[in-house]
Structure 1
Amino acid sequence: MYSVVTGASRGIGQEVVKELHARGQTVLGTYRSNAPAGADRLSWAQLDVRDPESHKALATRLDNCPVSLLVCNAGIYLDRTETLADGYPAEMWSDMFAVNVTGVFLTVQALLPQLQQAGHAKIAIISSQMASHTRAPGRSYIYRASKAAVLNLGRNLATDLRGLDIAVGIYHPGWVRTDMGGDAAEISVGDAARGLADRFEELSLENTGCFETWNGQQHPY
């Protein structure tokens, strides 16, 4: 029985892999280009979430291996410094949605047989408080739109997968001190990973479709 974490070569994803392993789970982390230094080949796999063939390869590797937890963490944030007057090029919209939204869907689709094999499986989608319609301070239009889209995707997957005994949760990991979050962020990556792991344990068909913060607070949609 596996837990699979995408985008796990650094930051929150890597720390979630460590936390789940510490809790006794057999964890497979994925990386796009380079495995973490010293990574055991048995616990890591290459996955470019933009590439359907890469998803097929991962599914083949996990053939007949039940996946009890899938954490869709892979994401990019490219428009932090873009300006409305001349920024946000179309290619950037395409690239960010390919990773942050389509990549999540393709991962779920590719590993659906393994999730069904597990019974009572769970899918955790890492979104952001920036997905919420209640937060509109401006800027970062592509990132905000992509995270809102993946929140909507998760909510609808929760409806469709309920009948397959698969629960789906969507989570804001907090403002975390990582390369993406920056040094001024509020919480450490360890705090975020521990809180998220607690949320994954609490996820069930009773609260499927939830949008929660890392520390267990319901977040407005």
Structure 2
Amino acid sequence: MRVLITGANRGIGSALHDGYAARGDNVTGTTRGDTSDGLVKLDVSDAASVSAMADQLAGQPLDLLVCNAGVYLDKGHDIGAGYGAEVWATSFATNVTGVFLTIEALLPNLKAAGGKVAIVSSQMGSSERAGGNAFIYRASKAAALNLGRNLAIELAPEIAVGIYHPGWVQIEMGGSAAPISVHDSAAGLIQRFDTLDAKTAGCFEMWNGEAMPY
């Protein structure tokens, strides 16, 4: 299987990359930073960078695109003292616009393989699980969830799109107090992506298969 994972240089993206490579899939990872370890250069918030990446992969069928790249720039901010306009703009450019630009740019690759798209969102994007604070991150992940649901309709039945919550994971974003190891999260997500098809398109699921409220 031919897989592309955005934001594969660390955290969940890196663990997903390792998991697919370990089972023998043809996996490509992207990063905004150093590409000396074989990752492809990509800043999902930069349309020119997305276009250059797509040109590099032109003509290569893609079975699965994992839109994992994301930022949590307002962690620890307090209302009245944080949440500046530039943080809103940067967060949405990465967590929402970047997802759309990447999918749109790779549609020819996905169509060539009858591929599918997995969008890594968060339970913090669930309106039913509103918890206050982290307003930018929550709003961007809610937008990514909405985007994924609409893309699932637009691209059906040719390309299945699913949305996923990786859990509270022991990575830089989640912190050491998180209960789920990055290995367990990645392994569960890979199982979820494997089962994604036209019948389950539009799903919002946890890494362990539990259905998430919208």
Same fold (TM > 0.5): yes
1:212 is paired with a residue of what secondary structure? strand
In structure 2, distance between residues paired with 1:198 and 1:8? 18
Moved over 4 A (4+): none
Say what the alpha-carbon RMSD is for the aligned residues: 1.0
Q: 1:66 aligns with which of 61, 77, 81?
A: 61
In structure 2, distance between residues paired with 1:150 and 1:207? 18
Q: Does 1:216 align with 2:209?
A: yes
Aligned to 2:176: 183
Q: Does 1:117 align with 2:112?
A: yes
Q: Does 1:174 align with 2:154?
A: no
What percent identity do the matched residue pairs reach? Answer: 56
1:30 is paired with a residue of what secondary structure? strand
Structure 2 unaligned spans of 5+ = none
Q: Does 1:12 align with 2:3?
A: no
Aligned to 2:193: 200
1:137 offset after TM fit, Å? 1.7
Matches within 5 A, 1:24-173: 24-35=24-35, 39=37, 41=38, 44-119=39-114, 121-163=115-157, 165-173=158-166
The residue type paired with residue 171 of structure 1 is: Y
Structure 1 unaligned spans of 5+ = none
Q: TM-score, normalised by structure 1?
A: 0.95
1:152 offset after TM fit, Å? 0.1
1:200 offset after TM fit, Å? 0.4
Superposed CA offset, 1:163-220 (max 9, x none) = 4x10001000000000000000010000000000000000000000000000001101
1:53 offset after TM fit, Å? 1.0
Superposed CA offset, 1:142-181 (max 9, x none) = 0000000000000000001004x10001000000000000
Aligned to 1:3: 3
Deviates more, 1:123-132 or 1:81-90: 81-90
Superposed CA offset, 1:19-51 (max 9, x none) = 11122210000000123xx62x3xx20000011
| Number of residue pairs the alignment of both structures matches | 214
The residue type paired with residue 24 of structure 2 is: G
The residue type paired with residue 200 of structure 2 is: N
